Amino acid sequence: AVIQSLQALVSRETDPLSAAVVSVTKIQAGDAFNVIPGDALIGGTIRALHDSDLASLKMRLLEVVGTVATAHLCTIQNISFMPDHFPPTVNDAEVMQWLQEDAGVVEFGQYQWDHKPIMGSEDFSYFLQDVPGAFLFLGQGSGKGVATEAFPTAASLHNPRFNLDESVLSRGSALLTQLAMQSLQALNEAGARNGSKSLKQGEL
């Protein structure tokens, strides 16, 4: 009953023009097939694109779980959330423009710059709150490195069938190196315009 009621938080209480996720991904109860368990452990994740929506989900989750449990003559104990929730990951507009125009990223293949928001949870968002930056996806799914047909490289992250295509790792390393070098060049050029000393090769 608790799990069913939690699903209404998205379908009935979330702005249809916004987005939210309430997923129950863990249920543990009992030790024997012929004994009704006296307690159960439920776990999962809540996600939203805005901090205010996330706070609302958290508040309503506590209310729904408590009232449904009471209605079924049950009690709730030890409800806990992660001490620090992951805020939405929002790329800096100027950094994104630099990536598209000046960072040389296009040399590494085709890129999709207008990706729609997704409900991933990423701690890189903390860095973006303090330092302008951007989070990029390194795609895979080429089919290379497949151990068995049951685990294709096209399966998404957090999928139980996920299989890393290791052939993309060299491309990712090269991309990060390119971005680091282009960043240093941009900083040198900005410093030269401002009269600051520029970095030379060997001073890194």
Considering the entire predicted model, what is its pTM?
A: 0.63
Please, is 125 exposed, middle or buried when counting C-beta atoms within 10 Å of its C-beta (0-12, 13-18, 19+)? middle
Fill in the DSSP letter of residue 47: E
In angstroms, the CA 41 to CA 28 distance is 5
pLDDT for 34 equals 93
Compute mean pLDDT per 10 residues along the chain, 204 residues long, and list them.
90 82 91 91 88 88 93 90 80 87 68 76 88 85 60 77 82 86 81 62 48
Query: Cα separations (Å) of 45 from 80, 103, 126, 196?
Result: 11, 36, 19, 48
Question: Token pair for residue 202?
Answer: 């060997």
